[in-house]
Amino acid sequence: MATDLRLPTDKIVRPDKDRFLDEENPFEAMMSRFDRAAELLDLEPGLYKVLRHPEKQIIVSIPVLMDNGEVEVFEGIRVLYNTSRGPAKGGIRFDMAVTLEEVKALAAWMTWKCAVVNLPFGGAKGGVVCDPTKLSIGELERLTRRYTAGIIQTLGPDSDVPAPDVNTNERVMAWVMDTYSMRAGHTVTAVVTGKPIEMGGSLGRREATGRGCMIVTKQALNHLGLNIKGATVAVQGFGNVGSVAADLLTKEGAKVVAISDKTGGYHNPAGIDIAGAIKHVREKRSLEGLKGATPITNEELLQLEVDVLVPAALENVITSKNAAKVRAKVICEGANGPTTAGADSILDEKGIFVIPDILANAGGVTVSYFEWVQDRGGYFWTEETVNQRLTEIMVRSFEDVLKLSKQHKVNMRTAAYMLSISRVATVHRLRGIYA
Ligand code: NAD
Question: Using CA atoms, how far apart are residues 137 and 367, in angstroms rounded to an integer?
Answer: 28
Q: How many residues does the chain have?
A: 435
- Residue 228's pLDDT is 98
- Residue 435's pLDDT is 85
Question: Using CA atoms, how far apart are residues 190 and 182, in angstroms rounded to an integer?
Answer: 14
DSSP 95: -
The 3-state DSSP composition of the chain as helix, strand, coil percent (nearest 5) reads 45, 15, 35
Ligand 1 atom closest to the CA of 362, numbered from 1: 43
Active site annotation includes 125? yes
Ligand 1 atom closest to the CA of 338, numbered from 1: 32
Between the CA of 335 and the centroid of ligand 1 the distance, in Å, is 6
Ligand 1 atom closest to the CA of 337, numbered from 1: 32
> With a 6 A CB cut-off, is 238 part of the ligand 1 pocket?
yes
Q: Does residue 197 surpass a pLDDT of 70?
A: yes
Question: Using CA atoms, how far apart are residues 124 and 107, in angstroms rounded to an integer?
Answer: 4
Give residue 166's identity as a one-letter amino acid code.
V
Question: Using CA atoms, how far apart are residues 435 and 433, in angstroms rounded to an integer?
Answer: 5
> With a 6 A CB cut-off, is 342 part of the ligand 1 pocket?
no
> With a 6 A CB cut-off, is 336 part of the ligand 1 pocket?
yes
> With a 6 A CB cut-off, is 239 part of the ligand 1 pocket?
yes
DSSP code string of 145-184: HHHHHHTTTT-BTTTEEEEE-TT--HHHHHHHHHHHHHHH
Least Cα distance to 256 among 207, 206, 290, 209 occurs for: 290
Mutation pick for ligand 1 pocket among 116, 165, 262 (CB with most ligand atoms within 8 Å): 262
> With a 6 A CB cut-off, is 364 part of the ligand 1 pocket?
yes
Question: Using CA atoms, how far apart are residues 279 and 289, in angstroms rounded to an integer?
Answer: 13
Catalytic residue among 104, 113, 125, 218: 125
DSSP 92: E
Are 336 and 360 within 8 A, CB to CB? no
Give the predicted TM-score (pTM) of the model: 0.94
For 245-273, how does the pLDDT look when each residue is reduced to its tens digit (9 = 90+)?
999 999 999 999 999 999 999 999 999 99
pLDDT over 90 for what percent of the chain? 89
